[in-house]
Structure 1
């Protein structure tokens, strides 16, 4: 547990990376922290699914424990689902044809909690697992997903009983070829004859079986003969457990307003970053860029935002520490927003400046170049210039924030004068911003 710094006549001790000086809190971005506690790698396998004509129809995303894994060791099925459908989905949209379908396995509980609704219906295929219990509630949920435009696939069908209602809803049925004889495949296909679902053959490992599969009516294929799974890796910022539980509580509050949701999301830089990247992928097909959390909520609606948040939060709950950069980003964001509200900044609204400050430390948080990150951030060009061009107006605000963090009175005075910011208003806004940030992270710092 880190001890808070308090302004006092007595000598105080600041936490690692935070130095009490001149009444301001200085946070050293390069302070030594255990990066394993700040960053969490994730691994997702992406395997193409082909048309009978040999063209890629889509991909299946599969959870992996390590980049060397050929298959997953899944301890928590829900967690695997949430990692694949949040981080994995974003990652696969970065370097593939975003018009292709994306097949994701969902557990019963994930289906019942509405998890798929956070993903775009135009490209998402909901895979119902072979060990699913087709209860009335589950069937009702699947009907709802079909009405929203999602495709439904039944995974690893072997002709087992009890799946009549799922088969009636299914758009695709996947049949695993491993250890199945020709006669066994024929029986499975005969049982599928009354249903309209497209048949997809899994584990197609050699060319010789293709004529037989086509004769049985298969039209989609997946397996080593066509392509082995490609491991996609990435890294997500660990949010604090306290903020995640706080957001989850708000998500589950039926009386939560747009404003309440907006404040909850904006309290967490990791979730803010991923939400904006997620919604600005081509898969959603929005004709305009989503430039703020409020914009995202209003455009997508509370229901879908809440479903996405549930997935992200449950995916993140693996026990991360709060990095010093997290607290620093919150102070920066709130300070800029406070200055807008005090009419000390008039070039942008409070929402936009909050986002600008919140994401200003995303480069050291992710250890990825800011140029790479900015490709995924839906910020106006002027704000992007603030991160890259030292002579830009917005970069001067970053310099002012840095001067505040280092309690550099000379720089503070010079930059305040240059930006026509009243120093008294700046000091008061700084106090309010730090109080707000402390409140947001009070369970950790």
Structure 2
């Protein structure tokens, strides 16, 4: 049986293209209910995933910016898989709750942090699905948060399937999706037992959709992220930062219009787009962009180091009563750009419109800014003689606060 909707045309240059796989989800009448979106790195219909967080971020950005949500799913909803890290990062607010269903993967255990994160998403209006689900009593707290449960049909013995479904219904599950349906017999059995939705190779294999990718300068994203940490930043100031990079501007406009494709309103100015997104959602989007823009050979730990270093610089500047501690955060964040871009720092500096004292601090560790940065770098190396007059206890305290800040997920780890 083949009921696949026709996929939009795709071009074929993996290095320059954005790819997304999609597989339809059907009603009992074999009408398309929604699409599950899947990571693909090329035209081949297979996922080669080495980093789940990065894969999900790629799916989101490719869908909402380069290809367009309306192109991939039309008026239907998009099911998107989440890793535990993305789920608990509180960093998903850029996605429109009315257009997506968030799938909790089967390897995510219902610990308090996970349940709290899901409850927050539900409060924000997101629909939750449990992926590849096989009932266990300890998973009942997850069931209570879910709108849809996707049962792993092949893993449940056919003779146990009716009891399995009855148990889920008794626990309040309204929508049960039978996945990995591969034969007419599978479909008829699951339909007779009252399953509401269906997915599998019997209906349609995933299709790959692609579009030419818009490349954004990593330096522009890092600068945007650093400025977004300023609690007093205004939407107008954010607009001014974004408009210095044409591709970043395009990405934002494309994202906002894709997320709002179900409405008739078209956003055609950066001012409208930044106002509609708001600072929190822009921070979320920038974090996703950074995750997907760094070369895959670069460890995510380097991004984490940049965030910790930035936060330590900010905290130490506050402790020293320096003016504008937010500038110290930016300095620490940018201090790893040479490693991220594989360029010496004197070649990175021209990419960012920074003040002279910032440039001097990055290149020569000069001035108050440079001294604080050098202190943090000394601490990272285990050295106990920082240039500024703060004790080892102060340095250790700032480091612990920075770690807690990362754990609180203001920025995705």
Is the CA contact (8 Å cut-off) linking 2:68 and 2:258 kept in structure 1? no
Shift of 1:226: 1.2
| Uncovered stretches (5+) of structure 2, i.e. residues with no partner | 1-12, 298-348, 363-413
CA distances 1:129-157 after superposition (whole Å, capped 9, x unpaired): 11113232322222222222211001111
Counterpart selection for 1:246 from 223, 229, 236 = 223
Aligned position for 2:23: 47
Q: Distance in 2 between matches of 1:247 and 1:258?
A: 12
1:148 aligns with 2:124: yes
1:297 aligns with 2:274: yes
Aligned position for 1:278: 255
Q: Distance in 1 between matches of 2:259 and 2:81?
A: 22
Is the CA contact (8 Å cut-off) linking 1:47 and 1:229 kept in structure 2? yes
Aligned position for 1:76: 51
Aligned position for 1:85: 60
Structure index of larger Rg: 1
Classify 1:319/1:49 alpha carbon distance in 2 versus 1 (closer, same or farther; 3 Å): closer
Aligned pairs for 1:218-233 within 5 A: 218-233=195-210
Aligned position for 1:159: 135
Aligned pairs for 1:88-99 within 5 A: 88-90=63-65, 91=67, 93-96=69-72, 98-99=74-75
Aligned pairs for 1:14-163 within 5 A: 40-70=16-46, 72-90=47-65, 91=67, 93-96=69-72, 98-163=74-139
Shift of 1:224: 1.3
Relative to the length of structure 1, the TM-score reads 0.60
Aligned position for 1:439: 353
Aligned position for 1:169: 145
Secondary structure of the residue aligned to 1:110 is: helix
Relative to the length of structure 2, the TM-score reads 0.64
Aligned position for 1:206: 183
Q: Distance in 2 between matches of 1:260 and 1:153?
A: 38
Q: Distance in 2 between matches of 1:249 and 1:47?
A: 37
Secondary structure of the residue aligned to 1:155 is: strand
Is the CA contact (8 Å cut-off) linking 2:64 and 2:259 kept in structure 1? no
Classify 1:111/1:308 alpha carbon distance in 2 versus 1 (closer, same or farther; 3 Å): same
Q: Distance in 2 between matches of 1:201 and 1:87?
A: 27
Is the CA contact (8 Å cut-off) linking 1:48 and 1:57 kept in structure 2? yes
Secondary structure of the residue aligned to 2:272 is: helix
Shift of 1:283: 4.1
Shift of 1:241: 2.5
Q: Distance in 2 between matches of 1:250 and 1:162?
A: 43
Classify 1:96/1:76 alpha carbon distance in 2 versus 1 (closer, same or farther; 3 Å): closer
Is the CA contact (8 Å cut-off) linking 1:204 and 1:225 kept in structure 2? yes
The RMSD of aligned alpha carbons is: 2.8
Q: Distance in 2 between matches of 1:198 and 1:289?
A: 34
Aligned position for 1:333: none
1:262 aligns with 2:176: no
CA distances 1:247-267 after superposition (whole Å, capped 9, x unpaired): 222234433321332233223
CA distances 1:162-207 after superposition (whole Å, capped 9, x unpaired): 3222210100011122354202433432431312241111111111
Q: Distance in 2 between matches of 1:106 and 1:254?
A: 28
Q: Distance in 1 between matches of 2:247 and 2:175?
A: 39
Is the CA contact (8 Å cut-off) linking 2:45 and 2:206 kept in structure 1? no
Classify 1:262/1:156 alpha carbon distance in 2 versus 1 (closer, same or farther; 3 Å): same
CA distances 1:86-126 after superposition (whole Å, capped 9, x unpaired): 11244252435532010000112212223332111111101
Is the CA contact (8 Å cut-off) linking 2:27 and 2:198 kept in structure 1? yes
Moved more, 134-143 or 200-209: 134-143
Q: Distance in 2 between matches of 1:264 and 1:197?
A: 46
